[in-house]
Amino acid sequence: MSEPSSPASLISTTADPGAEAVAELLGMLAYGELLAFERMASDARLAPDLDRRAVLSEMAAAEITNYQRLAARLAELGAEPQQVMTPYVQPLQAYHNRTEPRDWLEALTKAYVGDSVADDFFREVAAFLADRDRQLVLEVLHDSRYGEFAADEIRTAIAADPKLANRLSIWARRLMGEGLSQAQHVAAARPTLATLIITGAGDQDGVTALLRRLTSAHGARMNAVGLNN
């Protein structure tokens, strides 16, 4: 069986020199949108009532629209969406397999912590892209309503039962650790994407500063809902 084509082989010869790196980034984000749809639809079944179930179901539907926009842009770049997404299937699926929530609050914490860190990362990297692709990335990131909804639910639950803070804090640290582990695997396996980030940040010091910003935002987010960083 032949090896899957690399994103570079799927970029048209008329594309600009940075199209391969852009396709890598959009491919990762597109697959993330598909997984987000699947996860939100599944998590909706954990909701304690129909109102909350409807909120997550509505948000899940929005993820498919986001995926379609990204797939359309990949096609414009001369890339085959399925093949560009394929390198990210294993690491992203591994993260979700290892962080399967056991209940409603763990599902919300995963959304609040994991999705928000991913969104912060894509916002940072979007700054390295041309206007059109930067705007697309920013527009398809998770609706802030989801984060606000999750945060309100977590705060309310902790206020009612303060002991939950410790369990959810441990869970959040596990989520962060698993996410960083898979990110390292992606960076090692996808040098074109890693080069885009390093070049956009300026140098390794710029990458370190980017990581510090992500860590700082994560800490502030944890504190905002009463979780220990």
- pLDDT of 9 reads 45
- Residue 1 included in any domain: no
- Residue 229 included in any domain: no
- Residue 176 included in any domain: yes
Q: Per residue in 94-118, pLDDT tens?
A: 898 899 999 999 999 998 888 888 8
Question: How many domains would you assign to the chain?
Answer: 1
Q: Give the angle subtended at the CA of 4 by the CAs of 186 and 125, to the nearest 5°.
A: 30
- Residue 149 included in any domain: yes
- Residue 80 included in any domain: yes
Cα-Cα-Cα-Cα dihedral sign, residues 173, 178, 182, 188: positive
Question: What is residue 7's DSSP assignment?
Answer: G
- pLDDT of 143 reads 66
The token duo for 88 is: 């990210």
Give the residue carrying structure tokens 């997984």. Answer: 35
- Cα–Cα distance for residue pair 114/207, rounded to 1 Å: 20
Q: Per residue in 176-197, pLDDT tens?
A: 888 888 888 888 888 888 888 8
- Residue 194 included in any domain: yes
Enter the pTM of the model: 0.84
- Cα–Cα distance for residue pair 184/106, rounded to 1 Å: 24
- Average pLDDT over the chain, rounded to whole? 87
- Residue 143 included in any domain: yes
CATH number of 208's domain: 1.20.1260.10
The mean pLDDT value for 114-130 works out to 90
Question: What is residue 88's DSSP assignment?
Answer: G
| Domain span at 25 | 8-224
